[in-house]
Structure 1
Amino acid sequence: MDRVVFNPFSPLMLIMLIGAILLFGLVILLLPVLFLTVVGATFAKLGFSWREALLILILTLAGSFINIPVKTVENYGSPAANGYVSTYGRLYRIPAVSSRTTIAVNVGGALIPVIISAYLLYDSVVLTGGFGIVSLALVGVLVVTLITKLVARPVPGLGIATPFFIPPLAALFSAIILSIFAGGFETAPVIIAYVSGTLGTLIGADLLNLRRIGELGAPMASIGGAGTFDGIFLSGVLAAFLA
């Protein structure tokens, strides 16, 4: 009887496998470029040059490693069972519980976005000669704050978790509706979206949950602690980019 040897790696299969590997590698390489493009385009819409946008991104990345301690609180919570907790479909590994938590402000994830928001509001007053944009932006901040507060969930041992897409969408829709009352000011939707996304997420997710820090048992609670990839930074950037 003739023996037939089947080769599972036919030329077509090899081509498809190599193509899949190359495509995956291309996606990995393009993601940072896409992210930089989105950030640069966002700050360009806000009135910054691409050089200034790059500087902001570099400062944000560098600042993400800097936490400014503000206060230390005693913990009264306990870690989750089995050292894991699931929030919004994501499984978090809980580190060892700590008896004290240091509350800190992250430079890249919180301080820089707040400074940019303050600058944009000040610049809008100078350009328009009034506080109309500021008032609309504050209404947007209130809306995003309330929505973010509703969806924010404390994760024992780690911090406060929110679905990453809800604050940016809340800021975006708030900006679209509120900009109708901006009197035709061209950059009003982008400014309102950025300020609402940044300050609304900061207040709703972090500041309004400070009293719950003692439940978490985390060694440090850093406001804006994920730096460039923190919800505060991303909420402002994504909302302004889409506005």
Structure 2
Amino acid sequence: MSRYLNAIITLVIFAIFLKLGSIDSVQAKLQIDQKELAVGMALATFGSLLGLQLFSFESPNRDDQPPIKLGINLGGAVVPLLFMLHFFNLQPPAAMDMIILTLLVTAVVYPMSRFDSKRGMIVYLFGAVVFAAVGALLLDPENYLVLAYSAAVLGTLIGGDLLHLPQIKKLAERRANTIIIGGGGVLDAIFLSGLLAMMTAETMQQMNFL
């Protein structure tokens, strides 16, 4: 039920951004059309069904267990990162700004994420979206969109997933012996955090919030 509620809330938020003109403004500034955005969202949605195995490793404390497989989710991690690289080619942010804001978002996301044995990682996007948007506007008022998107994606991936790998590893040892980066409850968070951060930053900029 909560997953359907989250989907409804997300649609309402995007409808608000559409009404405010933030989506059209972002598309114009980044020179992307609705078709490209739709294709990207479709890839993220359908790609969420695919997990690509990277390698496997032995659990040092459980010799009787099969190797743990480490993989990466196509829609939850690969597609958002490809979007980020595409945006980098258009308007690359300053490296130092990127590092500072990513670390800040990571520090915010990590304590706001919790691990659920049934649902996987649960990430609350509010902190990542707001801090990425505000931080991007303050650090780089000329190129805030790409900076906001990239910091939100990387901060959510690192703080909401990678730093919680020890917890996920314990579950993997008890269950399917598989760890998927960008899978489970983090899937929607990584992809949506970047888009929502961009839209939020653009809305703030249009309203002269900062």
TM-score (norm 1): 0.62
**Cα distance change, pair 170–224 in 1 and its aligned pair in 2 (3 A):** same
2:84 aligned to 110, 117, 123, which one?
Answer: 117
2:15 aligned to 34, 53, 65, which one?
Answer: 34
Tell me which amino acid in the other structure corresponds to 1:113: P
Mapped contact 1:145–1:204 kept (Cα < 8 A) = yes
1:135-150 matches, within 5 Å, as: 135-150=96-111
Mapped contact 1:172–1:193 kept (Cα < 8 A) = yes
CA apart distance, 1:171: 1.1
Which residue of structure 2 lines up, in the alignment, with residue 66 of structure 1?
50
Mapped contact 1:60–1:108 kept (Cα < 8 A) = yes
Aligned residue for 2:94, secondary structure, equals helix
CA apart distance, 1:158: 4.3
Mapped contact 1:105–1:224 kept (Cα < 8 A) = yes
CA distance in 2 between counterparts of 1:222 and 1:67 reads 7
Structure 1 vs Structure 2 CA RMSD: 3.6
Aligned residue for 1:165, secondary structure, equals helix
1:76-115 matches, within 5 Å, as: 102-115=69-82
Which residue of structure 1 lines up, in the alignment, with residue 153 of structure 2?
198
Aligned residue for 2:70, secondary structure, equals strand
Which residue of structure 1 lines up, in the alignment, with residue 208 of structure 2?
none
- Deviating more after overlay: 35-44 vs 163-172: 35-44
1:178-211 superposed Cα distances (whole Å, 9 cap, x missing partner): 124xxxx2xx111111001101111111122223
CA apart distance, 1:227: 9.0
Higher normalized helix content (fraction of residues): 2
> Could you tell me the percent identity over the aligned residues?
27
CA distance in 1 between counterparts of 2:78 and 2:25 reads 18
1:151 aligned to 112, 128, 145, which one?
Answer: 112
Mapped contact 1:110–1:232 kept (Cα < 8 A) = yes
Tell me which amino acid in the other structure corresponds to 2:77: A
Mapped contact 1:114–1:198 kept (Cα < 8 A) = yes
Mapped contact 1:172–1:240 kept (Cα < 8 A) = yes
**Cα distance change, pair 211–41 in 1 and its aligned pair in 2 (3 A):** farther
State which structure, 1 or 2, has the greater radius of gyration over its C-alpha atoms: 1
- Are residues 1:234 and 2:192 paired? yes
1:48-63 matches, within 5 Å, as: 48-63=32-47
CA distance in 1 between counterparts of 2:188 and 2:96 reads 26
CA apart distance, 1:32: 10
CA distance in 2 between counterparts of 1:228 and 1:62 reads 15
Mapped contact 1:105–1:223 kept (Cα < 8 A) = yes
Tell me which amino acid in the other structure corresponds to 2:162: L
Residues paired across the two proteins, number: 184
CA distance in 2 between counterparts of 1:228 and 1:57 reads 16
Mapped contact 1:175–1:190 kept (Cα < 8 A) = yes
CA distance in 1 between counterparts of 2:13 and 2:126 reads 19
**Cα distance change, pair 166–108 in 1 and its aligned pair in 2 (3 A):** same
**Cα distance change, pair 229–158 in 1 and its aligned pair in 2 (3 A):** closer
**Cα distance change, pair 63–35 in 1 and its aligned pair in 2 (3 A):** farther
Unaligned runs of 5+ in 2: 1-7, 202-210
TM-score (norm 2): 0.71
CA apart distance, 1:104: 2.1
Mapped contact 1:40–1:54 kept (Cα < 8 A) = no
CA distance in 1 between counterparts of 2:69 and 2:25 reads 33
